[in-house]
Amino acid sequence: MNIDHTNISLDAVPGPHRGQPVLIEGEPLQQARAAMIMLHGRGASAEDILTLTREIKREGFVFLAPQARDYAWYPNSFLAPLASNEPWLSSALAVIETLLAQVRMVGIPATKTILLGFSQGACLSAEFAALHTQRYGGIVVLSGSLIGPDITERNYTGNFAGTPIFLGCSDSDFYIPKERVLTSAEVLQRLGATVTARLYPNMGHTVNRDELQTITQMIQSVLTSTQ
């Protein structure tokens, strides 16, 4: 694991997350055939989310994990009014946009890129994708949902063109109501994604083996896809 300030930079990101480090694991950026952008949860770190690569690491992939300032992407609940999480939320969304642009510059398109997040990072991944619909390699939402008090009233537009999106969560998660997971799945499906949503009985706020296997399958699919 290393911090690469030469090839990846968040210096152009506006707001609180500007200039934060990005940890890189897996293939060297210039040699990778595919990428995964990994977003940690509140109170956690880039190092924490990168521990998942012990289970899902595959040749050909570069894994990029940005670090949120003060260990949080935005200050309030994902259910709070959007304005209450600014300017942190917009800054966090710009982190993903900047990383996507930088991996695209080395020849890795969105169709070969997976966005993955856990908890607050999962909410951020889902929200960014819904605001920037296109064909991605995949979206992984681990214990998270779309952001905002009423996502059914949001004016999400565009088409995912069949992007595989996986949402996994406990059916009794203390932070993420299961109803929000299912509603998010419906919204993403309407935007043209191929959505899989799984609620695990009494799992708690964590990641389980089935989710890791699903991520591994998504990674393999991206590597073998001709898109």
- Give the CATH number for residue 19: 3.40.50.1820
- Report in angstroms the alpha-carbon separations of 90 from 5, 11, 39, 122, 218: 23, 15, 15, 15, 28
Which of 166, 37, 162 has the alpha carbon at shortest distance from 93?
37
Please determine, for residue 182, whether its predicted confidence score (pLDDT) is greater than 80.
yes
Q: What is the pLDDT of residue 58?
A: 85
Return the structure tokens found at 163. 């992007």
Please give the tally of structural domains in the chain: 1
Q: How confident is the model at residue 2 (pLDDT cuts 50, 70, 90)?
A: very low
The mean pLDDT of 60-70, rounded to a whole number, is 97
Give per-residue pLDDT as tens, 84-121.
999 999 999 999 999 999 999 999 999 999 999 999 99
Regarding beta strands 22-26 and 113-118, do their DSSP bridges make them parallel or antiparallel, or are they unpaired? unpaired
Average pLDDT of every residue of the chain: 95
Regarding beta strands 34-39 and 61-66, do their DSSP bridges make them parallel or antiparallel, or are they unpaired? parallel
Please determine, for residue 227, whether its predicted confidence score (pLDDT) is greater than 90.
no
Q: What is the pLDDT of residue 7?
A: 67
Residue 116 belongs to domain spanning: 2-224
Which of 203, 191, 160, 196 has the alpha carbon at shortest distance from 181?
196
Return the structure tokens found at 43. 């109170």
